[in-house]
Structure 1
Amino acid sequence: MSTIFTKIINGEIPAYKIAEDEHHLAFLDVMPLVKGHTLVIPKKEVDLIFDLESEEFKNLWAFAQSVAKKIGAAVPCVRVGVAVVGLEVPHAHIHLVPMNSMQDLNFTNERLKLSPEEFQGIQNAIANA
């Protein structure tokens, strides 16, 4: 089950990485709902998040929590919202979305189009928070 996320993990496709460890990766969504919209994934290829083993599931959420704290410190927002949708890419992933209103977490909203410089600025701010 090789997906675009596997290609990002393997370095075949570039990504604006926020955080990484042996088992997880967080990177900016290239079609964000808002600035700072980040995806958190396990490096293990698993389609459905609830198919992760219990320990892997807990560790993924702990990793996501650490990333969410960085996002909250770096991106002006009331809170960091969380969504698990799983329809876009068949690889388990968590959306972390800086929110100032309920509309910020609406996946039917038009996605932002950011320049590489904007992505790099956001990446640096979150990664260094």
Structure 2
Amino acid sequence: MASIFSRIVNGEIPAHKIAETDDYLAFLDAFPVVKGHTLVIPKQEIDYLFDLDDELYAGLMKFAKQIAPAIEKAIPCQRIGVSVIGLEVPHAHVHLIPLNSMADMNFNNKLKMSQEELAEVAAHIRSFL
């Protein structure tokens, strides 16, 4: 069965996309820990980040590096934090999280944002790409 991220890639589930290439996709986390929390994934479904081959892994990080400055311009923050947990969805992914304090990286606290709010945030981030 395809992961939820593969279903997003295939257009079966909607997402608030930030950027996309043939190999990678960045989209807002539907359950963000802070406003602007973005997920960056390879389109190829591979469960564990460190199972990616070197080229796909390096490309994922390069793609994330291109997205981070746009998030930082759109969402007031001190920096963009990076987290790789990889337990909740069996599809390699990187979290890009606007940080003003270490508390912003608390995955136990989720924001409740409407689809309209998420769409506005995604559009604002895209405007800086």
TM-score in terms of structure 1 length: 0.97
- Give 2:113's aligned residue: 114
Structure 2 residue 16 is matched with structure 1 residue 16 = yes
Query: d(CA) in 2 for partners of 1:111 and 1:79?
Result: 19
The unaligned stretches of length 5 or more in structure 2 are none
Q: State the 1:117 CA deviation.
A: 1.5
Q: State the 1:116 CA deviation.
A: 1.5
Query: d(CA) in 1 for partners of 2:72 and 2:40?
Result: 15
Query: How many corresponding residue pairs?
Result: 128
Query: d(CA) in 2 for partners of 1:12 and 1:117?
Result: 20
Query: d(CA) in 2 for partners of 1:116 and 1:56?
Result: 31
The one-letter code matched in structure 2 to 1:13 is I
Question: Which stretch shifts more, 38-47 or 115-124?
Answer: 115-124
Query: d(CA) in 2 for partners of 1:96 and 1:128?
Result: 17
Structure 2 counterparts to residues 1-129 of structure 1, below 5 A: 2-108=2-108, 110-129=109-128
SS at structure 2 position matched to 1:15: coil
Query: d(CA) in 2 for partners of 1:7 and 1:36?
Result: 22
Query: d(CA) in 2 for partners of 1:117 and 1:2?
Result: 27
Task: Provide the alpha-carbon RMSD of the alignment.
Answer: 0.7
1:21-41 Cα shifts (integer Å, max 9, x gaps)? 000000000000000000000
TM-score in terms of structure 2 length: 0.97
The unaligned stretches of length 5 or more in structure 1 are none
Query: d(CA) in 2 for partners of 1:118 and 1:95?
Result: 19
Q: State the 1:78 CA deviation.
A: 0.5
Query: d(CA) in 2 for partners of 1:116 and 1:44?
Result: 26
Following superposition, which runs of at least 4 residues in structure 1 exceed 3 angstroms of deviation? none
Query: d(CA) in 2 for partners of 1:86 and 1:38?
Result: 14
Query: d(CA) in 2 for partners of 1:52 and 1:73?
Result: 30
Query: d(CA) in 1 for partners of 2:117 and 2:77?
Result: 17
Query: d(CA) in 2 for partners of 1:90 and 1:79?
Result: 27
